[in-house]
Amino acid sequence: MLKQYLDADALAPLLSVLQEMTTRPDDAALVDRLFEVLNGLGILQGAVLTYAPYLGILTSERQIPDDGQPLPNHA
C-alpha cells in the first residue's frame, strides 16, 4: 500500500529497509536503520503509519526522537 498510495521515490530508503527485513527480521542493525529512516521522513511518518500500521507495532517499544539526534543502539 505504501507504493500504491504514497510517493515510492520519497519512501525508497524505507522500502529498501523493509525489503531487507523480510530476509533478516532479527537483525538489530536493520531495526536501527528502520528507526533512522522513519525519523528522517518528517511529516510523512503519519502517512506511512496510516498505510503500514504494522510499523506502529514495531515502533511501539521504542520512541522515535524528534530532535534529529542519532538513535541509541538497543540490546
Q: At 14, list the grid cell.
A: 524505507
**Whether pLDDT at 9 is above 70:** yes
Confidence of residue 75 (pLDDT cuts 50, 70, 90): very low
Could you tell me the CA-to-CA distances from 1 to 6, 22, 53 in Å, in that order?
Answer: 8, 16, 11
d(CA 13, CA 9): 9
pLDDT at res. 32: 86
Q: Each residue of 34-66: b (16+ CB within 10 Å) or e?
A: bbebbbebeeebebbeeebeebeeebeeeeeee
pLDDT value for 15: 93
Tell me the domain boundaries of the chain.
2-59
Whole-model pTM over 0.85: no
Segment 22-41, tens digit of pLDDT: 999 888 888 889 888 988 88
- Summarised one tens digit per residue, pLDDT across range 36-71 is 898 888 889 999 988 888 887 776 666 555 555 555
C-alpha cell at 24: 533478516
